[in-house]
Structure 1
Amino acid sequence: MISRRRLLQTGLSVAALPYLPKLARAADDAALKAATGPDWAPWTLPTPALVLPDLSGREQKLSAWRGNVVIVSFWATWCEPCRDAIPLMSTMAKRHREEGLRLVAVNVGEALGKVSTFLAKSPVAGTVMHDRNSAASKKWDAIALPANYLVDRGGSIRYWHLGELDWKSEQVTAVVTRMLRR
């Protein structure tokens, strides 16, 4: 039987990224299994900084959204589960905006033109950041795409998920709703 770690090294229906060894040192197979399961997994590491340009080149910082619950999603246009999730995350962000939910979609490693073309057809109800050289995704241990994180109102990651996530399921939405009520 192949371990989750080995499965991620070879590809989990998404491309495994080359910096798996950092996460492999920090997480055992149980943590990876939880992060790739059907629901959110607890995040136990410190929250890395997130400072990147938006699509117009202005620097954006995750710390600017303190006081809100933030979905941070690392994605790419070539990633089918990412393309499917963006409209669902956007709907959730719009539905809970008044309660303080924000969406930060971090494109990983693609040219601005490609990202802009995609977003013209599938707009994001939030801020799109551009991680052109994948440096931020490496710091966030986004070893596969999509990689989604739930950041609490104080700016700390509480939950994460690697791979496809059912944004309509009660399990997924309940965690987001619970964080909004804190």
Structure 2
Amino acid sequence: MTSVRVPTRRAVVAGMIGAGASLAMPAAPVRAASGGPPPFGTVRHQFTLVQGARPVPPVAIPALAGGALDLTAFKGRLVLVNFWATWCAACRTELPMLDRLAASGRSDLAVVAVSTDRNRAQVAPYVKQLKLRHLAIGFDPGGLVSRVDAAELDTPFALYGMPISFLIGLGGQVEGYMTGEADWLSPEAGGLFDYYASGGR
């Protein structure tokens, strides 16, 4: 039986340093350019396009509310998948924003937040403390769908940093990702969602 390596803080930092490397992506990421989606970013990070990504495979991600989350079940909707951890300071800022986005009533967008914490018992109290009531929250402590060393795992979710958010388009494939906390409630983020919700037009 093959043991599953769990991402550690050191591994995540190493993944951040090596963010420029090609990890599990069929084609090299490219920055948003003219003719593509509208620009969206922060002072430190920009939404980065992924070209040639395969569709996200069906994987049952254990859910905080019980049962499982399947990222392929959101047919006809965009899915913003955020990977986070309780030890991540930027995550504490970004998660409430994502919770408000999930409650915004945007019917063409689902928001899923997946914890990478190894200790699952820490997650529920943390979620309660931040008063997250609208996010679909899952667990991925063993790297079921996300890995720092993603070259060893057949996944479109490489943890280049923490937090990191991936946008899955209407076709069920990753369109791009954003490392670090971002203002997902901004008009710029709304423009990004509008672009992909309209099929990239």
Q: Determine helix, strand or coil for the equivalent of 2:87.
A: coil
- Give the whole-Å Cα distance in 1 for the aligned partners of 2:72 and 2:22: 27
Which residues of structure 2 form unaligned runs of 5+? 1-9, 33-40, 148-154
Identity, in percent, stands at 23
Give the conservation status (yes or no) of the 8 Å contact 1:94–1:125: yes
The match for 2:37 is none
Which residues of structure 1 form unaligned runs of 5+? 1-10
- Give the whole-Å Cα distance in 1 for the aligned partners of 2:14 and 2:143: 10
- Give the whole-Å Cα distance in 1 for the aligned partners of 2:123 and 2:146: 17
The match for 1:77 is 86
The match for 1:178 is 195
How much is the aligned-residue C-alpha RMSD, in angstroms? 3.1
Larger deviation: 87-96 or 74-83?
A: 87-96
Q: 1:165 deviation in Å?
A: 1.7
Aligned residues: 167
- After superposition, the C-alpha distances for 1:21-62 in whole angstroms (9 at most, x for unaligned) are 7972357xx948879854311122324424311125523211
Is 1:114 paired with 2:105? Answer: no
Is 1:132 paired with 2:129? Answer: no
Matches within 5 A, 1:1-182: 15-17=12-14, 24-26=21-23, 31=29, 37-44=44-51, 45-49=53-57, 50-97=59-106, 99-122=107-130, 123-138=132-147, 139=155, 140-182=157-199
- Give the whole-Å Cα distance in 2 for the aligned partners of 1:17 and 1:178: 33
Give the conservation status (yes or no) of the 8 Å contact 1:75–1:147: yes
Give the conservation status (yes or no) of the 8 Å contact 1:70–1:151: yes
Specify whether residues 90 and 19 from structure 1 end up closer, same or farther in structure 2 by C-alpha distance, changes over 3 A only: closer
